[in-house]
Structure 1
Amino acid sequence: MGLTPLQVLTKVQIPLALPVIMAGVRIASVTAVGLMTMAAFIGAGGLGYLVFSGIRTVNNNQILAGAIPACMLALTVDFIIGLVEKLVTPISLQKGDRAVKIKNRTVQKAGLGAAAVLLAAVFLFTSIGTGNQEGRTISIGSKDFTEQEILGNLVADLVEARTDVKVNRRLSLGGTQVCAGALKSGDIDLYIEYSGTAYTDMLKYPPISDMEQVYETVKKGIWRAF
């Protein structure tokens, strides 16, 4: 009684709603960690690359090498956001002794503050390191099957062995359209393509059996696709 609508919103409604809001954020964040493993399908790397490479090669150790850290990351995110959820829950709504709850909240705030500073430092140093290497980096892509990954790594190893250029491996991107699109947009600088695929899929010619004609046509006309 006696509060303005803004005071009702900030002092009553939002504090009461915050635990529910943070519970939704918590669920969404943990779900997002799991879904991020799917980024491997578009060459974004991450732990999903280990999982799906292990599935393709029937390598259980490689699958676990990606799945276990992803699970630990999800649990860590859940724990941290759970602390935030407790911090935003009004003390009057929490069970237990009030003095103990206030003491625990102080410890939780200190822990979250230290974690926030650590994460900020990691992101800062990572961005600085990435910025320093941008001028001497080449991105090499590949399609999402074994032969293409081998070819992509061969080219990357050759560049690293013969030059001082750093190679950003963007392997297992997907099919022809994904790789060609990444090349057009500048997300990668090169990838290995097959003359027959370029002839039919990229230049839109009907299939023929004359390999020399296919090669010469692709060599002269491939730039039309870009």
Structure 2
Amino acid sequence: MSKRESSKYKIDRRMGENIWGRPKSPVNRRQYGPGQHGQRRKGKMSDFGTQLRAKQKLKGYYGDISEKQFRKTYEEAARRRGDTSENLVGLLESRLDAIVYRAKFVPTIWAARQFVNHGHVNVNGVRTNIGSYRCKAGDVIEVRQKSKQLTVLIEATQLAERDVPDYIEADHSKMVATFQRVPNLGDVPYPVVMEPNLVVEFYSR
């Protein structure tokens, strides 16, 4: 099971933003923080607070990634050539659970992690049940034959609230997706503004 299933909307409330663009988000009704003093928290945020918030928002968007796992992803992004913030987003979007979510096989990132963990997905014909598995450009992700009639799968493909991005080619009639390329930040359809550059500043302090 996904660790934060029961509290996923608390992240929205804490950030004050509907970070997944979901119609049921409480932020759609109450655009202020949780708790009895939530409406009074309007003080100016420090640079550290801004960086921490950016980190929490990006990490929270990808579901139940632990702090240790997220930091390791940052460290790998920093080791690679090129812009560290772009590398970080590329690594996060290369995760198998993120691709299953982007391909609209499931409605939420938590459902994607659970869907993968329960063994419903093959990568290049091999059953893979690790959500953090890193896919490469050209990898083919397919829902296993016995799982193709699951109700959650059929309902998710019909969701109108988001589209499949152009770096993933999805065939919902066959329940197959191809990871075409590692995206840049500008390619990723985040419903809110993400600032991975502030995440880099947070970890490089």
Structure-2-length-normalised TM-score: 0.23
Structure-1-length-normalised TM-score: 0.21
From the CA coordinates, give the structure whose radius of gyration is larger: 1
Structure ranking higher on relative contact order (CA contacts 8 Å, 6+ apart): 2
Higher share in helix? 1
